[in-house]
Chain A
Amino acid sequence: MSAQRWQQAAGGPGATAAGAGSAAAAGVPGAAATGPGATAAGAGSAAAAGVPGAAATGPGATAAGAGSAAAAGVPGAAATGPGATAAGAGSAAAAGVPGAAATGPGATAAGDVILTVQGVDVWLSGRKILDRVSFELRAGQLAGLIGANGSGKTTLFRTILGLQRPSVGSVVIGASQAQRRRRHTPVGYVPQKFELDPDLPLRARDLVELGIDQPRLGVPLRHRARRALVDQALESVDALRFADARVGRLSGGEQQRVLIAHALVGRPRLLLLDEPLANLDISSGEEVVSLLAKIASEQSIAVLVSSHEINPLLPVMDRVVYLADGRAASGSTHEVVRAEVLSRLYRHHVDVLHVHGRVVVLAGPGELTDLSGHDADLPAGSVPGHDADLSAGSVPGHDADLSAGSVPGHDADLSAGSVLP
């Protein structure tokens, strides 16, 4: 993964802005906030992460923002230059997780840019669904795609998967353009709604096996090598104990693990999960979230998780891509979940309040909305969540999350309705 092809966003000159914030910059509020909605390019220099060649900055077009620098335990990386010069560490995974070696020859070095979404516009039946969306994602990072229903999350996923062609802009995965190499794009995908028939004649391991080498033809015969791959994938999601159960009779959370294993067994460099928390109770949601963080760092892949609430993802997110009415703001949570950034994004005045370790976003007078949760006291080190010992308990807002767990999503929906023009 050396050659980064930067597509010139046809979106225009004003599209990109300087986002020179870093996670460590939490203590440096003066750092330039992410630009006016359109782009917040977090082009951390991979050189800092010890990976030469990946340091790809466009011809001045994109400004750099250090992605979760503190995560790597390199607070010094926070010393970002103003705007143009890129500086910053890739992600915590760059700190050298030994598990990365286990992912085989196709593995990418931590910190490489895996996904570049550049000035993407998508029109569907005369409506602009995505409006100059730009962000990028590196190996080992877990990013939350946060937005209310109808904000464009699913369309963005479809665009990344190559199922939806952007009218302007580009999606680059690794070094290949998604829409060109659609059939071989190494993207794992876990859809939101899956209803597996209880009588489906598939064990969990059979479903995972179907993820190898699709669209390979032929009969699903069992080979030792394939079985080892399947076992490995199941183990990485802690699903070996129900590997031989009928997959349709597993619980929702268990089925989700199996589907994640199905996606992982194809050795993707990018894993997309559409609202994985929507149908889970809070404790299984927490398990899935920490599992995803573990996968991102150990297998050194980029993970993009969509959710209509931000709080459950807060403990583990390296990046957040915040969608509102098709526009996106991206960066670390500290960069994005701020009153001025969200106000620009929504084109409406928004207040961000910190309540019991969570963030409540107030949109307009008297309209209580909770778009996100982000803790002012949250130490930068706990944001990335790559530390193996990072348990839910180490997050200050843990209890608050639990107690208010059912409320946020509801409010987020409300806010979308009230804020969007």
Chain B
Amino acid sequence: MSAVLASLFASGFFSSEAVQIALGVGVIVAIVAAPVGVLTVIRRQSFAGHAFGDIGTAGASASFLVGLTPLWGLLLANLAGGAAMEGAGVERARSRDIATGIVLGAALSLAALFLYLDMTSTSTTGQTVTILFGSIFAIPTSTLPLAGGLGGVVLLVTLIFARPLLLSSVSPEIASAKGLPVRALSLLFLLTLGLAAALAAVTIGTILSTALLIGPAASALRLTKRPLSAVLLSALIGIFAIVVGIVLAYDSYRWPPGDRTWPVSFFVVMLVFAAYLLSGVPDLVRRRRQDSWSAAGGARSGAGQRSTGDDRSTGGQRSGAGQRARGHEPHHRGGAGPLGEMEA
């Protein structure tokens, strides 16, 4: 038993301060991402979530230039970006995507400049990699209380405004007919999403932050039909991905090429991806069962229909098996992930 534990948790895992901070920040982020992610998926604003990653890149790279903690840069950039997106017009879904895309483009061009300046001032690409892909083991201790405070704010806002946000997400028309300030709620949510994205970017980098926001929520939404359980399930999936990702990354110190850990973000995002694929299985099974049910109905109504029913049933089986095989794919591919080589 202890041998298993020892092989799972490499020596020094629990005593390492870096690991403790990483676990603390990671769990905070996973919890915060759950309600925000669920609302983001319901509101179909994943693109805005992604845009915050790019906007955050500009903010984080700028904060390096002036010697600030990256989280502050992420924060300020995302809040400004959220306001800009809302100001550029998000009333209709279509103009919303356009506004998001335009703000995203502007932010990326700023990021290009700041990252260039970062590189020339330090003569390394280390900070660029940290910003883009995160380095959860190098989070300064001072970030922990800040992340906790921010996470608390985000959680509080989403919990307080859960009902109006949910209703205005389901039907803005009904919400405004009830006198809810739909536009203000939309801005409020966008800012909340920006804060959550900033927190996610600290752990797994700006580029991959969306995965941690959207992935667990999207998986949870496929598994449950209740809003509250969707949030709880999403938090559990997120915590699982982060904690297991951190453990695996710590272990990877002993893996080739050696003496270095693989990027945590790689493990976390791949675990989230696997969770998303697996979350589709129950639905497939249900559909397969419905098919065999209708096959049974076909048998009752006549021999001619029975064969079609059986065909459909086996078809369901085939696709179910295919889905399961695909569900394991990320683990296999993990051995040769391109991100592993990028850790400088």
A residues adjacent to B (C-beta < 8 A) = 161-163, 182-185, 187, 189-191, 193-194, 196-197, 199-203, 206-207, 210, 214-221, 245-246, 259, 262, 266, 272
Contact = CB atoms under 8 A, between A and B. Distances in A.
Contacts of B42: 197, 200-201
B227 interface: yes
A221 B163 CA distance: 10
Contacts of B163: 210, 214-220
A421 to B, nearest CB: 31
A262 B42 CA distance: 19
B244 interface: no
A191 B177 contact: yes
The DSSP consensus for interface residues of chain A is: loop
Contacts of B101: none
Interface stretch (B102-110, B167-175, B309-317): B167-175
Contact of B225 (A201, A215, A220): A201
B38 interface: yes
A203 B225 CA distance: 6
Nearest to B223: A201
Contacts of B228: 219-221
A221 B159 CA distance: 11
B227 A201 contact: yes
B164 A217 contact: yes
Given A189-B178, A219-B159, A199 B170 contact: no
A201 B177 contact: no
22 contacts: A185-B179, A187-B177, A189-B178, A191-B173, A193-B173, A194-B171, A196-B170, A201-B220, A201-B224, A201-B226, A201-B229, A201-B230, A202-B166, A207-B170, A210-B170, A214-B164, A217-B163, A218-B159, A219-B228, A220-B163, A246-B225, A262-B174
B306 interface: no
A214 B180 contact: yes
Contacts of A162: 179
Interface in B197-227: 220-222, 224-227
Nearest to A190: B174
B176 interface: yes
Nearest to B231: A201
A215 B227 contact: no
B5 interface: no
A165 to B, nearest CB: 14
Contacts of B229: 201
B178 A214 contact: yes
B225 A218 contact: no
Nearest to A201: B230
Given A184-B179, A189-B178, A200-B42, 19 more contacts: A183-B179, A189-B177, A190-B174, A191-B173, A191-B174, A191-B177, A199-B221, A201-B42, A207-B170, A214-B167, A217-B161, A217-B163, A218-B159, A219-B159, A219-B163, A220-B227, A220-B228, A221-B228, A262-B174
Contact of A163 (B170, B177, B221): B177
